[in-house]
Structure 1
Amino acid sequence: MSSNYVQNIAVVGAGGTQGKFVAEELVKTGKHKVTAITRADSSGKIPDGVASKVVDYNDTSSLVEALRGQDVLIITMAVTAPKDTQQKLVDAAKEAGVKIVLPNEWGYDQDRNASFAKENLIGERIIQAREYVTSKGLPFIGICGGFWYEFSLGGGEVRYGFDIANRQFTRFDDGNIKLSTSTWEQVGRGTAALLSLKLNRDNENDKEPVISDYFNKSVCIESFNVSQNDMFESLKRVTGTTDADWKITTENSQERYFRGLGLLKEGNFAGFAIGLYTRAFYPDSAGTMPNTVNKTFNLPQEDLDECTKGAIEFAKTTKGY
């Protein structure tokens, strides 16, 4: 970094679900050179304006060479990626001289609620990844956007409890527990806004936020703080339906959570989604992130019903619609 701004940013997963929007928003700022780190067999489409470097994850020198000269490494990967992939990237980032790592998080702030982090099936992994980054002497910044709204609302009953195609709604408890949820675009905008700040303050009189304020912390972004019932009302408005048009059932959140764990033990991966999502709807409100950066970063307020329409369109692309 030759100035007080980060300029060169590498994105792993730039053709993927969240990474695509992060890369696109970084390009829109006009302040960064964005490079996608990709495998030779990757089928993801790299966004316009993004350079590409092909790597072999089994060849450390390949990773180091791709990351040399990069100021920031952003990691976005599916939960199905090999467990050691992130460690390989962090090791290479350290050797290549990368200054900041945004690890593969993109969910909830795991630091705020210890029991939530332990019980939500991904929290301990995220905390371990953070610890690994710091063990290498690198700062991390955890981008937390909660669950993706369209993906979760439109992704079937195992996520937010809605089977849109068949107009079925499973209400967890009374359906009034709220959580933070975000669109892919909002998380991308928030990440780009963060990395467009100055790295450090110019002097003691400089009171504007800077990137280093967020070292080894969570940066929480949201589109909406809503309950299942709020989502249901939006769905009814958008589809022109009433309660009578839906099959509505109720399930105790704790019983549902343990049912999910049981399915997972049997090898049914649907249990992972059931456990992961249901834990965020517990009465402890662990899925709400009160300390968002939306105002600080001047992020827009999105329209819930418009995003619900996006969830319906997403539902059409998933199995069972």
Structure 2
Amino acid sequence: MSGLTYIKKVAIVGATGTIGKYIVDALLQKGKHEVTAITRKGSTNVMPAGVTVAVVDYENPSTLVDALRGQEALIITLPSTGLDQQATQLRLVEAAAEAGVPYILPNEWTVDMADENLANDVLFSGEREIRRRIQELGVSVWMAVITSFWYEFSLGFSQLCYGLDWAGRTFTFYDEGTQKINTITMPQNGRAVANLLSLPIQTADGAPSLDGYRNKFVYVSSFLVSQRDMFESVLRVTGTKADEWTLRHEDVAERYQDGMKTMRAGERTGYIKSLYARVFYPDGSGNFEARRGLDNDALGLPREDLDEWTRVAINNAEAGIRYGPGSGSS
């Protein structure tokens, strides 16, 4: 790293995944990095032009070390929470330490993990262990990009998320639907990572630098909105009237508990229901902008138009597009 002003070599796990593809696209658009996709043996995923492929066997840690040697940053995007994701991350961060990778962006892409009560309630305590392990190893530093949920995915996916059932013309509000949370579009998530890794490693004048985010959370967002704001946007972009909709209200704490009960009975949708409900609690835990501030300006992120992305969400719902929940921001 001596004498370097910017990092150049970036490896990513999950390069063609739900959010990985947006990160790769943004990195390629910057034109400053050599991007390597870490892929499992036997993968048939097709990589974009300009991306190098390194095939690994997660049961053979030496292949991970070989793939990561010489890399300056490792980005981890994985498709779900759970024991397999946890074990895979541990293998990756340990291999990164052995390979001497200076920077790791762990598999966060989610709600405010600095809030330990929130992290525990949404079953993300394992992410804390990954950060702790990186620091224990003492070679790499972590930078956890906190995004909250992906807006166009969450609004269009189903009423389990932001409460919209487009096909049924029903909107379910948690409490009165007035609690504001931060949310992000997928391209903004990608830009945030690319812009972060494009920062100078160090600066002498206090300007944003990569080393300024060593072992820190990075807070980025597209919108600070309530469900009422979302619903008003849906009305604008679809030309529908409020009286054409069935509006429902659910107690947010009861919705969280009901989802957890469903999850414990073995139904995955129960977890999604609980995850989203918890972030709309009136404790303000979903509004990290108010509690932590944002790094949008430091990273040069553009302002976005809410209605434009509501239209994308409606189009997704009409097309039946499903991404497959993952990385917390499901």
Q: Specify the TM-score bucket, using the shorter chain as the normaliser.
A: over 0.9
Aligned equivalent of 1:187: 189
Shift of 1:160: 0.9
Instruction: Note if contact 1:121-1:272 (Cα within 8 Å) is conserved in structure 2.
Output: no
Letter in 2 for 1:174: E
Q: How many residues align?
A: 314
Residue 155 of structure 1, CA deviation: 0.8
Partner of 1:24 in structure 2? Answer: 25
- Please list every run of 5 or more consecutive structure 2 residues that lacks an aligned counterpart in the other structure: 323-330
Per-residue CA deviations over 1:63-89 (Å, capped at 9, x if unaligned) read 111101100000000115713000000
**2:74 partner letter:** L
Report the equivalent of 2:95: 92
**What amino acid is aligned across from residue 75 of structure 2 in structure 1?**
I
In structure 2, distance between residues paired with 1:233 and 1:140: 38
Identity rate of aligned residues, in percent?
44
1:14–1:47 CA contact under 8 A, matched in 2: no
SS at match of 1:140: strand
Determine if contact 1:99/1:139 at 8 Å carries over to the other structure: yes
Measure the CA separation in 2 of the matches of 1:41 and 1:100. 27
Residue in 2 aligned with 1:253? 252
Q: Secondary structure at the match of 1:74?
A: strand
Distance 2:200 2:78 in 1: 27
Q: CA deviation at 1:258?
A: 0.2
Partner of 1:119: 121
Query: Is structure 2 residue 229 aligned with structure 1 residue 230?
Result: yes
Q: TM-score, normalised by structure 1?
A: 0.95
Choose the corresponding residue for 1:103, options 86, 101, 106: 106
CA contact (8 A) 1:20 1:46 kept: no
Offset of 1:51 from its aligned partner?
Answer: 1.2
CA distance in 2, matches of 1:293, 1:194: 10
What is the CA distance between 1:118 and its match in structure 2? 1.7
Task: Give the drift of 1:162.
Answer: 1.0
Alpha-carbon distance change, 74 to 256 in structure 1, aligned in 2, over 3 angstroms = same
- CA-based RMSD of the aligned residues comes to 1.3
- Matches of 2:100 and 2:156 in 1, distance apart? 41
Aligned-partner residue type, residue 229 of structure 1: R
The one of the two structures with greater contact order (alpha-carbon pairs below 8 A, sep at least 6) is 2
User: What displacement does 1:294 show?
Assistant: 1.1
1:268-279 equivalence runs, <5 A: 268-279=267-278
Instruction: Return the offset for 1:5.
Output: 1.2
Q: TM-score scaled by structure 2? A: 0.92
How far apart, CA to CA, are the structure 2 residues paired with 1:31 and 1:93? Answer: 22
Q: CA-to-partner distance for each residue in 1:253-308, whole Å, 9 max, x for gaps?
A: 00000000000010011110011110000001111122111112221111111101
Deviation at 1:43, TM superposition (A): 4.3
Query: Distance between the aligned counterparts of 2:224 and 2:48, measured in 1?
Result: 30
Q: Return 5+ residue gaps in structure 1 as ranges.
A: none
Spell out structure 1 runs of 4+ moving beyond 6 A: none
Letter aligned with residue 172 of structure 2 = T
Question: Cα distance, 1:185 vs. partner?
Answer: 0.5
CA contact (8 A) 2:112 2:118 kept: no
**1:13-162 to 2 correspondences below 5 Å:** 13-79=14-80, 82=84, 83-111=86-114, 113-122=115-124, 124-137=125-138, 138-162=140-164
8 Å Cα contact 1:37-1:54 kept in structure 2: yes
Query: 1: distance between equivalents of 2:320 and 2:201?
Result: 41
